[in-house]
Amino acid sequence: RAKSQQRAGHFYFSRSMGVEIRERVRMMHALRTGFAKGELFVVYQPQIDLTARRPVGAEALLRWQTADGTYISPDRFIPIAEYSGLIIDIGEWVLRSACHELVRLREAGHRQFTMSINVSQVQFRHPYFLDMLRSALEETGAPPEFVELEITESMAMEEPDLLIKMLAQIKHTGVSIAIDDFGTGFSSLSYLQRLQVDRLKIDRAFVTEITNSARGSSIAEMVIQLGRNLGLSVIAEGVEDERQAEILQSLGCPLAQGFLFARPMATTALYEWLNDEALPGSA
Ligand code: C2E
Ligand code: MG
Ligand code: MG
Ligand code: MG
């Protein structure tokens, strides 16, 4: 009896695991063929100078729309791309696409525009990452000083020595580095000081908090202060309403990104938006 229960339990366990694995494998195949068929595309969300209320750059964000029209969130398919190794090719393609777009934006007169690109830790650890980065910059003609790579804080936590070395080498290419989702990864302040990064990106959760309670802005305030003390740029992500923008501005946050100003957009929409943007709070 005990034995059959055990077996039954085991069966149940492996069946549910089997479902999960099958689903993951199915999505991995769909992603591989979808990527080959051009179902992936990149959208761009403007980044705003809070004082001037002017766009100064954009973040490239990956999108996947399958043949039947369904959108799959990057939060769902990026982990699968990482797990399967597909992120190496997909990530290179995103980087090249975003660099191309930066060059086109410059040709259209946006000479000071910066381009931020998310980089997965799997890409970052790949032995040819630096070579890939260098040739993408060279072949697209994107000026490195206007390109920024976003790495997450949790990623910054693992293997500190490797990261410190990598960041120094990336610095050599002229590209800058932002720590994404900052405040969620609990990296120590002394460690942060050793990292050659240029910008901290306040996580959306802390931006949302700003208007939620009396002390809701304390973490955002701390990150802004930290950035100032370390000589780093600071950007707030996920700014959805004017009150958040005003408070961030009064705390001395120089940059912001969020639905209040603009959603991530396909390139044609981005150009239209740049031509006739009338940002909330601008003169
Ligand atoms: P992330 O890099 O922190 O990107 C910010 C996310 O917040 C984006 O979600 C963006 O669309 C969303 N967002 C921007 N403003 C607002 C706002 O005002 N309110 C709300 N509620 N959301 C806002 P998205 O595009 O779904 O991307 C999710 C995550 O997927 C990204 O987080 C990033 O970690 C990852 N990701 C996206 N594209 C890439 C990529 O090309 N490569 C890699 N490795 N990861 C990517
Ligand atoms: Mg990001
Ligand atoms: Mg983020
Ligand atoms: Mg995120």
Q: Which residues are near ligand 1 (CB < 6 Å)? A: 45, 61-62, 73-75, 78, 91, 94, 118-120, 150, 180-181, 204, 237-240, 257-259, 264
pLDDT for residue 270 is more than 80: yes
Contacts for 44 with CB less than 8 Å, ≥ 6 apart: 58, 59, 60, 61, 98, 101, 264, 265, 266, 267, 270
Q: How many CB atoms lie within 10 A of CB 217?
A: 21
Q: How far is the CA of 237 from the centre of ligand 1 (A)?
A: 9
The string of pLDDT tens digits covering residues 60-116 is 999 999 999 999 999 999 999 999 999 999 999 999 999 999 999 999 999 999 999
The string of pLDDT tens digits covering residues 201-249 is 999 999 999 999 888 899 999 999 999 999 999 999 999 999 999 999 9
User: Which residues make up the environment of ion ligand 4, defined by Cβ < 5 Å?
Assistant: 181
Q: How far is the CA of 117 from the centre of ligand 2 (A)?
A: 7
Report pLDDT for 10: 53
* DSSP line for 200-265: EEE-HHHHHHTTTSTTTTHHHHHHHHHHHHHT-EEEEE---SHHHHHHHHHTT--EEESTTT---B
Q: How far is the CA of 182 from the centre of ligand 3 (A)?
A: 8
> pLDDT above 70 covers what percent of the chain?
91
Which atom of ligand 1 is nearest to 82's Cα?
44
pLDDT band at 11 (very low <50, low <70, confident <90, very high): low
The string of pLDDT tens digits covering residues 104-122 is 999 999 999 999 999 999 9
pLDDT band at 278 (very low <50, low <70, confident <90, very high): low
Q: How far is the CA of 120 from the centre of ligand 4 (A)?
A: 11
pLDDT for residue 4 is more than 50: no
pLDDT for residue 262 is more than 50: yes
pTM of the model: 0.92
Instruction: Average the pLDDT over each of 13-17, 114-118, 196-200, 272-276 and give the range with the smallest value.
Output: 13-17
**For the residues 34-48, what does the mean pLDDT come to?**
98
